[in-house]
Amino acid sequence: MRMPNLAVNICGVQFKNPIIAASGTFGFGREFSNYIDINRIGGITVTGITLQPKVGNPPPRIAETPSGILNSVGLQNPGVDYFLEVELPRLLTYDTGIIVNINGTTIDEYCKIAEKLSKYPIDLIELNISCPNVKEGGLAFGAHPDMVYEVTKAVKKSSTQPLVVKLTPNTSDIKETAKAAAEAGCNGLSLINTLIGMAIDINRRKPILANITGGLSGPAIKPVALRMVWEVKNTVDIPIIGMGGAMKGTDVVEFLLAGATGVGVGTANLVSPTACIDILEELTAYMIKNDIEDIDELIGTLKI
């Protein structure tokens, strides 16, 4: 069998394959370029960008847990202006899709970042709505459909690139927030973001993380992520980038079957810097073994 076609179209943008380095674990790709050929992966979602630089939360801010990790990094990043001036030009030398994850504490902040990005050749904007809305008492934007609709609609007006909304699982019904984002005009969705959790040091009788709670990622959350991708795919008719515990090529196959068009690889990058390429090769081997000539033969074909 000849090499299968792995190309996917996400929100009108062509990606050479569905493997996308997820935001927060791949930085801006600098360190990983020493270990892998970044040109081979479908895309990079850069670490979350804010309007102004952020130093993040105090340490400890990473804690290993059974089948996963907790993080409370706190969106440490150099700010949007530095990203556009220093990091983006280097990223654009790679033959891979560029997705920029944006974060804000007010709708105005989100819109200002989107306006700055609109002048540059970025493929997709990923709107992280797990951030606290300071004008609403710190409640996360993604926690309620009305807030999801409001922030999505405003950012969509400010952006020229296709807008992908990243949904939080920390809500009563992710189908409702997905519908709100779609009704507000987003082009696609990515899910899931991390689940809120905590870890305790029984000798010190204190939380391990300085921030007390953090976001749980890794294999532990994959069943939740798969269920939510499947639910959302059966609720709205827009592309989905699935993520949450994809560590192997077969995990990617599961996300594709559930309805995802692209798959974010996050925690796996912290386990092995070659994870994205390893997963890509495992996915390709699976397709060859099973005589699957085109990736579209997998996407959304789960039998119920």
Which residues are catalytically annotated?
131
Spatial strand order of the sheet with 62-65 comes to: 62-65, 68-71, 213-217, 195-198
